[in-house]
Each structure stands twice: as structure tokens, then as C-alpha cells.
């Protein structure tokens, strides 16, 4: 993957001296290094192929993309090769590190506008180029924007990029739910009609907010909550009050990018002409303004890691071992997510607490949520330019019934059910043999071939080179994968496109689904949760409850072939009853009301299904304890029905309660019969022995 006109970087680990660690991703560690023959400082990304053997496809795509690109704002790899069980990607060293690291070290509240404008302009140049080349980056975020010591800005990390010209199998990659939740465009989450390069424009807008605030909107929330909020709430934006320091044109740029309808988002080329970029300066200005006085990257990285582990210790003391992984990911900057459902549930319970605390601390938040503009840290609403979205982040309901309605409204905002979607794609504590989705089968069929590729490690990107055996000259403090004794440097073409069709799936088989049932008191699940913990308004915990455990580390990734979208997006919905209020109806034209009513009708059907599902789940968990079930139903019935649909639901609850009663009665009878038979059998056996 070298470029003929340029220096030839050796494809042998012995030719590099690894120095300190300067970065860490989901599947890789990045080192500053010296290319000995060329006497040049480089960055080497060391990927442990054993750890990410489900994501060879992504790795292959990243390396391949890095080979083909040629733009001053896109980070291009010098070369790559395997060493033992790891893949080494040699890249130019970007001494400033990522914008995320810079902010974490020195600008926790974000950068000043001229810096943001310059960084965004340079990033946008990269996007214009990539889009022209037919690539969707799919992971635009501050953590992937690297700054060199002279202020040069480069967009990095093509682990999840996709080609818009792909067809067939590769086209499916574009119908894949991939990226990092906070930066992910709604259409990528929804999977209704696939998506295109406009998904990068959304992420670009989120990145703009990230650079302005030091964190992405919703970054303190667990993934499921982020999905809900992205789909349900109006897009985040710059708050006129909180973000007074930013110009109108910056606010407009963000608003232009963060439009839910991708068709209404500008292309990267068009965005380039936005007047906001008049605020941009030179690269040198960036270097002078944000890099001056900073410690060397390795030192900063070491300090951040130390801070991170301190926080982990604190969090461990607060939340125990279970949260450690997800907390770790959170502290790292939400670059990776732990998709264990139990963790999600615990996180959901925790998050609710945060929300309660923060709302209690900030009485103005409730009022603010009605404001026109959004404070991105506190999920709120603002009128969407595309339609009217009604959502309330703060639950004011007093009884379980209303909490169920909260749950319902949250569910209704999902055009697809996220956990159902996940179920088709991730290993969800069920017998895998029954995974029937076509793409799942396909993936599994492709596995032996893919594993073979993993084993032989035939990934080398310097085409035409012969197999090279080499000595290892890196320092002894290297990680295991970097110091593997037996080293093989194999050359040849990249793993062919069709050879690998895999997903980033890691199943933690040690997690016992049954444990869920006897979980600690933070494991709230199903409608009972909503009664027991009244303020909890978190759908993830409820929905998750019906699923088995999922452990998926890495970026969020769901293949649309496994999804069954069941409802339209952008419906008008009210969190309480799922219908627009009369005042809003009066503001709508007849033409606008009809589709929304149809939409609500459709949603109601879905909601009913969801509630039935949840009731079933509660029955499973608590069915044996009729007292609880009785209480649940009684609680529900205490609230007077206010609409036909509510009456209908209540009738269903009663029916279900009755059928539970008769099933339990039948069970009791059978048990007695069984005991009788056992007694008879025992006496026969006893007689025979005599």
C-alpha cells in the first residue's frame, strides 16, 4: 500500500522501534514509533487480530480505504503488515493527537469558535473528498480528527467506512447499523431505507457540538438511551442561552447538519460554502492556539489513562464490578459500548438517577425543556424544523399506570424495536441454531473461510512483496500481541472482499441469563419496574428485559437484513397518550393531520404489542407470585380509563390476569395429580421390594 513516488516503508516489525503508547481504541493500541531505516517518526496502530476476529471485514475495509485515499486531510497509512497475531498499520505520526484527547487534556469545555471553524473546515474537506470518491466515513467524531504539530488536520479511522458504489453483499454493509451511538444519524439507527453520505453530515454536526462543548450530546447516557433520544427528541443544537459565545452562523451550520430528514441536510460540498467557515483561520493558528503548552502526546495519554483508572476505581466503589466495563467505555469518551443487556439495565437505572439528581439540582431544566432551544447535555426538546415532535424527558406521573404509558410512548417512538433489531444480529443468549435471518446464515456460512483467513493472517497490504521473516526489535515493554515470539510477515493481496462477511460480535458466554431473574435491586425490568421505581422512565430496561444477554463490544452495528421496520419515522407523538394535543392539532393543516393520525393508529397497534410482550415477560418472571401480579393489575386498574385504547388495554390486562389465574389453577391440579401418582408409584415399588 505504499505509494511509488514516496518513501518505501519497510513491512517488517524489526525495522520499527515502538516507543510510548499514544492512543487506544476498541481493538487497537497506537504507538509512537521510529522507522529505523528511514529514521522517521511514525505512528503504528497495532490491532490484535485474535481479539477482533469477528471484525476482519472492518479491518480489511479500513486498511483498503487507507490505501486508496490520497488527500491532505485524510490520514493515509504508509504500509501495513502482520506480526504474530497482530496487524501493524504504519501511519504518519500526528503529534497533537485527536481533538478528543486535546479537549480532555486541556479544553474540557470545548474549543473557541475560530479553532472549531478551522478544524471543521479541514474535516469537511476530507469528507468532500471521501464522498466524491464514493466513501461514507461513518465514524466522524472528535476522536477521529487528528492534529499534527503544525496544526494540520486529518480525518482518521476507516474501520467502519463504506463504499457508496458497493453492490450486492457489500451494499448490505451500507444497510448496516454501524458507528458510535452519540454520533449516529437517525436514519442509520432506523434502518428504514438505508442511508448514504448524508449520515456523515449528521455526525459532522454532532462533532461540531462536541468541539463546542467538549463532549457529544447525550454522551453521558447508555447506548439504548442515546438511540431513544436521537430518534425521539428533536435534534440537538446550540443553545442560545448557554452557547451565547458562539455566532449565529455556527448555530445555523449545526442546525443545517442536524436535520433528521437526510434529504434536507446539505451535501458536504454545499456545506463547504457555509458562511460559518469565514470564521476559520490557518492551520498554524490551530497549532498556536490549542497545542502550545501541551505536554507531549504520550505524556498526555498517560495522564488521561491514570485519570481514567482513578475514575474507574471511584465508580467501582460506587457501582460495583458490573458497571466497570461500561464505565470504562464511558470514561474513554464513548468510543465503544458494552452491549450487555444487564449492564444496559443497570446503566439505565443509574442514568435515571443522574437525571433525577440533575433535574433536582436544576429546577430550571424542566422549564428549559419547553424552551425553544436545546441544552444538549440535558435531553430536551425544541421544535423540529421537519415536523412537530412532542417529547417530555421528565416524568411527572405519579402512578404505575402512567409510567406504563411513559414506557409506551417511548416504545412508540421507535420505528423499529431496537432490541428486536439487536436480537437478529447479535448473539443473544439463545440457541444460535435458530437464528434464521438470511444475513445471519450467510455470516455463519462464511465463517470457516473467514477463520481460515484469520489463522493464516494473510493480511498484508504491500502488494507484490514476498513473504518476509524478520527479527523483532521493538522494546520489551510491548503488549503481548506486539511481542509475539513467532513472527510471520506474509505478503499478498488483502483478504478478498467476498471472503469475509462478519460482524463485530463478542458473546460473553459466562453470563447466565437466569441470573437476570435474581438480580440485585438495580435490575429493574418490565412494567413492574415502572411501579417499583416510579420515576424510572427508561425504555431500555423494560425492553431489554424480554431479551437474553447481549455482549457486544465495539461500535454499534446492526444489519438491516435482520430488521423488520414496523412503523414510520417522525410521527407526531405525545408521550402521555401518543396523540397530538388539541392545541397542536389546531395548528396543523388537514393534510398534515391525516397522515399523523394514521401514523398514531399504527403506533398504537405496535404499542399494544409491546405492552403485551412486557406483560408476558412479567408473567414469566412473577407469574408464580400471584400476589405481585394482582398488585400489578390492581395498580393498573386504579387509574380511570380515559380513552378507548386505555379501556382496551385494561380489558386485556384483566383477561391476562384471568388466564394467569386459570393456568396457575391448572398447574396446581397437575401438581397434585403428580404427587398422587408419585405416592402410588412409591407404594408399588415398596411392595415389590417387600
Ligand X SMILES: Nc1ncnc2c1ncn2[C@@H]1O[C@H](COP(=O)(O)OP(=O)(O)OP(=O)(O)O)[C@@H](O)[C@H]1O
Q: Restricting to residues 325-364, which ones interact with ligand X according to CB under 6 A?
A: 335-336
List, in order, residues 6 or more apart from 646 with CB less than 8 Å away. Answer: none
**Nearest-angstrom CA–CA distance, 424 and 434:** 10
Which residue number, 79 or 94, has a Cβ lying nearer to ligand X?
94
Q: Which of 18, 30, 155, 286 binds ligand X (CB under 6 A)?
A: 30
Q: Which of 11, 12, 15, 23 binds ligand X (CB under 6 A)?
A: 23
- Sign of the four-CA dihedral 59, 60, 64, 65: negative
Q: Which of 28, 182, 407, 506 binds ligand X (CB under 6 A)?
A: 28
- Count of residues near ligand X by CB under 6 A: 26
Q: Which of 61, 101, 131, 345 binds ligand X (CB under 6 A)?
A: 101
Q: Restricting to residues 57-76, which ones interact with ligand X according to CB under 6 A?
A: 75
> Per-residue contact track with ligand X, 277 to 316, x per CB under 6 A?
----------------------------------------
Q: Which of 1, 11, 18, 22 binds ligand X (CB under 6 A)?
A: 22
Q: What are phi and psi of 377, to 5 degrees?
A: -80, -35
Q: Considering only 26-34, 236-244, 433-441, 624-632, which stretch makes contact with ligand X by CB under 6 A?
A: 26-34
List, in order, residues 6 or more apart from 362 with CB less than 8 Å away. Answer: 368, 378
Q: Which of 34, 35, 79, 94 binds ligand X (CB under 6 A)?
A: 94
Q: What are phi and psi of 574, to 5 degrees?
A: -105, 135
Minimum distance from residue 69 beta carbon to ligand X (Å) = 14
Minimum distance from residue 153 beta carbon to ligand X (Å) = 12
Minimum distance from residue 75 beta carbon to ligand X (Å) = 6
Q: Considering only 141-149, 208-216, 440-448, 567-575, which stretch makes contact with ligand X by CB under 6 A?
A: 141-149
Report if residue 369 touches ligand X, rule: CB under 6 A. no
Q: Which of 1, 2, 27, 208 binds ligand X (CB under 6 A)?
A: 27
The residue written with cell numbers 501541551 in the block is 294
219: left (phi over 0), alpha (psi -120 to 50) or beta: alpha
Q: Considering only 155-163, 425-433, 496-504, 603-611, which stretch makes contact with ligand X by CB under 6 A?
A: 155-163
Minimum distance from residue 230 beta carbon to ligand X (Å) = 19
Full 3-state SS string of 23-77: EECCCEEEEEEEECCCCEEEEEEEEECCCCCCCHHHHHHHHHHHHHCCCCCECCC
**Nearest-angstrom CA–CA distance, 610 and 357:** 29
**Nearest-angstrom CA–CA distance, 363 and 125:** 42
CB 106 within 8 Å of CB 134: no
Q: Considering only 87-95, 162-170, 316-324, 351-359, which stretch makes contact with ligand X by CB under 6 A?
A: 87-95
Which residue number, 305 or 444, has a Cβ lying nearer to ligand X?
305
Report if residue 407 touches ligand X, rule: CB under 6 A. no
Q: Restricting to residues 31-60, which ones interact with ligand X according to CB under 6 A?
A: 43, 45
Full 3-state SS string of 147-182: ECCCCCEEECCCCCCEECCCCHHHHHHHCEEEECHH
Which residue number, 162 or 336, has a Cβ lying nearer to ligand X?
336
Per-residue CA distances from 626 to 576, 618, 623, 639, 660 (Å): 29, 11, 6, 21, 8
Q: Which of 84, 151, 159, 222 binds ligand X (CB under 6 A)?
A: 159
Report if residue 573 touches ligand X, rule: CB under 6 A. no
Sheet holding 97-98, edge to edge: 97-98, 145-147, 153-155
Which residue number, 365 or 551, has a Cβ lying nearer to ligand X?
551
Q: Which of 46, 91, 238, 349 binds ligand X (CB under 6 A)?
A: 91
C-alpha cell at 24: 487506544
Q: Considering only 140-148, 313-321, 430-438, 444-452, which stretch makes contact with ligand X by CB under 6 A?
A: 140-148
Report if residue 98 touches ligand X, rule: CB under 6 A. yes
Q: Considering only 91-99, 123-131, 417-425, 593-601, which stretch makes contact with ligand X by CB under 6 A?
A: 91-99
Minimum distance from residue 60 beta carbon to ligand X (Å) = 14
Minimum distance from residue 630 beta carbon to ligand X (Å) = 49
Query: Nearest 5 degrees, angle CA 626-CA 631-CA 635?
Result: 150
Three-state DSSP class for 3?
A: coil
Report if residue 26 touches ligand X, rule: CB under 6 A. yes
C-alpha cell at 46: 497495532
Minimum distance from residue 26 beta carbon to ligand X (Å) = 4
Q: Considering only 22-30, 230-238, 385-393, 605-613, which stretch makes contact with ligand X by CB under 6 A?
A: 22-30
Q: Which of 11, 136, 156, 649 binds ligand X (CB under 6 A)?
A: 156
Report if residue 131 touches ligand X, rule: CB under 6 A. no
Q: Considering only 94-102, 241-249, 465-473, 541-549, which stretch makes contact with ligand X by CB under 6 A?
A: 94-102
CB 614 within 8 Å of CB 527: yes
C-alpha cell at 562: 435482520
Which residue number, 414 or 556, has a Cβ lying nearer to ligand X?
556
CB 437 within 8 Å of CB 427: no
Minimum distance from residue 24 beta carbon to ligand X (Å) = 6
Which residue number, 143 or 222, has a Cβ lying nearer to ligand X?
143
Element housing 344 (H / E): helix 341-361
Report if residue 93 touches ligand X, rule: CB under 6 A. yes
Q: Rounded to the nearest 10 degrees, how much is the dihedral formed by the CA atoms of 103, 108, 113, 117?
A: 30
Which residue number, 24 or 371, has a Cβ lying nearer to ligand X?
24
**Nearest-angstrom CA–CA distance, 157 and 140:** 9
Determine how many CB atoms are found less than 10 A away from the CB of residue 648. Answer: 13
Alpha helices in 533-622 (DSSP H): 539-544, 582-587, 590-622
Which residue number, 43 or 421, has a Cβ lying nearer to ligand X?
43
Q: Which residues are catalytically annotated?
A: 139
Minimum distance from residue 148 beta carbon to ligand X (Å) = 8
- Sign of the four-CA dihedral 172, 132, 335, 93: positive
Report if residue 144 touches ligand X, rule: CB under 6 A. yes
Q: Is 45 annotated as belonging to a binding site?
A: yes
Q: What are phi and psi of 24, to 5 degrees?
A: -145, 130
**Nearest-angstrom CA–CA distance, 504 and 132:** 28
**Partners of 18 in the beta sheet?**
33
Minimum distance from residue 444 beta carbon to ligand X (Å) = 25
Minimum distance from residue 160 beta carbon to ligand X (Å) = 8
**Nearest-angstrom CA–CA distance, 236 and 239:** 9
Which residue number, 88 or 93, has a Cβ lying nearer to ligand X?
93
Which residue number, 155 or 615, has a Cβ lying nearer to ligand X?
155
Report if residue 126 touches ligand X, rule: CB under 6 A. no
Per-residue CA distances from 309 to 21, 32, 106, 377 (Å): 16, 22, 18, 24
Please state the residue numbers annotated as binding site for ATP.
45
Please state the residue numbers annotated as binding site.
45
Chain positions contacting ligand X, by CB under 6 A: 22-28, 30, 43, 45, 75, 91-94, 97-98, 101, 143-144, 146, 156-157, 159, 335-336
Amino acid at each position: 500500500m505504499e505509494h511509488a513516488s514516496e518513501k518505501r516503508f519497510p513491512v517488517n516489525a524489526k525495522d520499527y522501534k515502538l516507543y510510548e503508547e499514544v492512543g487506544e481504541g476498541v481493538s487497537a493500541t497506537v504507538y509512537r514509533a521510529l522507522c529505523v531505516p528511514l529514521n522517521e517518526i511514525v505512528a503504528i496502530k497495532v490491532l490484535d487480530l485474535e481479539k477482533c476476529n469477528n471484525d476482519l471485514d472492518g479491518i480489511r475495509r479500513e486498511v483498503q480505504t487507507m490505501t486508496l485515499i490520497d488527500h491532505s486531510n485524510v490520514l493515509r497509512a504508509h504500509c501495513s503488515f502482520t506480526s504474530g497475531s497482530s496487524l501493524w498499520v504504519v501511519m504518519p505520526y500526528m503529534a497533537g493527537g485527536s481533538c478528543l484527547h486535546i479537549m480532555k487534556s486541556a479544553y474540557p469545555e470545548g474549543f473557541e469558535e475560530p479553532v472549531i471553524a478551522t478544524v471543521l473546515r479541514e474535516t469537511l474537506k476530507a469528507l468532500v473528498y471521501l464522498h466524491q470518491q464514493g466513501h461514507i466515513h461513518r465514524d466522524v467524531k472528535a476522536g477521529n480528527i487528528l492534529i499534527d504539530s503544525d496544526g494540520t488536520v486529518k480525518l482518521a479511522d476507516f474501520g467502519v467506512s463504506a463504499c457508496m458504489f458497493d453492490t450486492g453483499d457489500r451494499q448490505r454493509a451500507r444497510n448496516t447499523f454501524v458507528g458510535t451511538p452519540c454520533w449516529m444519524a437517525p436514519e442509520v439507527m432506523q434502518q428504514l431505507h438505508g442511508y448514504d453520505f448524508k449520515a456523515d453530515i449528521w455526525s459532522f454536526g454532532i462533532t461540531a457540538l462536541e468541539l463546542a462543548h467538549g463532549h457529544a450530546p447525550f454522551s453521558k447516557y447508555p447506548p439504548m438511551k442515546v438511540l431513544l433520544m436521537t430518534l425521539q427528541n428533536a435534534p440537538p443544537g446550540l443553545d442560545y442561552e448557554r452557547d451565547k459565545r458562539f455566532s449565529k452562523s455556527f448555530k445555523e451550520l449545526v442546525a443545517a447538519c442536524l436535520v433528521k430528514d437526510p434529504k434536507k441536510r446539505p451535501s458536504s460540498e454545499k456545506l463547504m460554502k457555509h458562511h460559518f467557515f469565514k470564521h476559520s483561520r490557518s492551520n498554524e493558528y490551530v497549532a498556536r492556539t490549542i497545542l502550545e503548552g501541551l505536554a507531549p502526546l504520550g505524556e498526555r495519554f498517560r495522564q488521561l489513562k491514570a485519570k481514567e483508572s482513578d475514575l474507574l476505581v471511584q465508580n467501582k466503589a460506587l457501582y460495583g464490578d458490573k458497571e466497570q466495563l461500561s464505565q470504562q467505555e464511558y470514561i474513554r469518551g464513548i468510543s465503544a459500548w458494552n452491549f450487555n443487556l444487564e449492564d444496559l439495565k443497570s446503566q439505565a437505572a443509574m442514568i435515571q438517577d443522574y437525571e433525577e439528581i440533575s433535574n433536582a439540582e436544576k429546577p430550571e431544566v424542566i422549564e428549559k425543556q419547553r424552551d425553544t432551544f436545546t441544552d444538549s447535555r440535558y435531553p430536551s426538546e425544541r421544535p423540529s424544523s421537519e415536523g412537530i415532535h412532542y417529547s417530555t424527558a421528565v416524568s411527572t406521573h405519579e402512578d404505575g399506570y402512567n409510567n406504563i404509558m411513559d414506557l409506551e410512548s417511548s416504545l412508540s417512538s421507535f420505528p423499529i424495536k431496537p432490541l428486536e433489531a439487536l436480537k437478529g444480529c447479535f448473539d443473544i443468549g439463545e440457541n444460535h441454531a435458530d437464528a434464521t435471518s438470511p444475513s445471519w446464515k450467510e455470516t455463519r456460512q462464511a465463517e470457516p473461510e473467514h477463520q481460515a483467513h484469520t489463522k493464516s493472517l494473510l493480511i498484508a497490504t504491500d502488494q507484490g512483496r514476498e513473504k518476509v521473516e524478520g527479527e523483532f526489535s521493538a522494546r520489551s515493554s510491548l503488549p503481548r500481541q506486539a511481542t509475539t515470539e513467532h513472527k510471520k510477515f506474509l505478503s499478498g493481496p488483502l483478504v478478498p472482499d467476498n471472503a469475509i462477511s462478519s460482524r463485530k460480535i463478542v458473546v460473553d458466554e459466562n453470563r447466565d441469563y437466569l441470573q437476570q431473574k435474581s438480580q440485585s435491586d438495580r435490575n429493574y425490568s418490565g412494567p413492574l419496574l415502572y411501579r417499583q421505581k416510579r420515576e424510572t422512565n427508561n425504555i431500555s430496561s423494560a425492553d431489554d428485559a424480554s431479551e437474553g444477554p447481549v455482549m457486544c463490544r465495539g461500535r454499534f452495528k446492526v444489519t438491516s437484513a435482520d430488521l423488520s421496520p414496523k412503523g414510520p419515522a417522525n410521527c407526531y407523538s405525545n408521550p402521555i397518550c401518543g396523540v397530538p394535543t388539541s392545541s397542536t392539532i389546531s395548528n396543523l393543516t388537514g393534510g398534515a393531520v391525516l397522515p399523523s393520525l394514521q401514523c398514531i393508529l399504527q403506533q398504537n397497534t405496535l404499542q399494544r404489542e409491546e405492552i403485551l410482550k412486557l406483560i408476558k415477560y412479567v408473567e414469566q418472571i412473577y407469574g408464580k407470585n400471584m400476589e405481585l401480579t394482582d398488585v400489578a393489575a390492581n395498580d393498573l386498574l386504579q387509574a380511570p380509563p380515559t380513552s378507548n385504547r386505555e379501556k382496551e388495554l385494561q380489558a386485556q390486562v384483566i383477561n391476562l390476569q384471568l388466564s394467569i389465574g386459570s393456568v396457575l389453577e391448572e398447574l396446581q391440579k397437575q401438581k397434585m395429580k403428580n404427587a398422587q401418582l408419585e405416592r402410588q408409584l412409591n407404594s408399588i415399588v415398596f411392595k415389590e421390594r417387600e
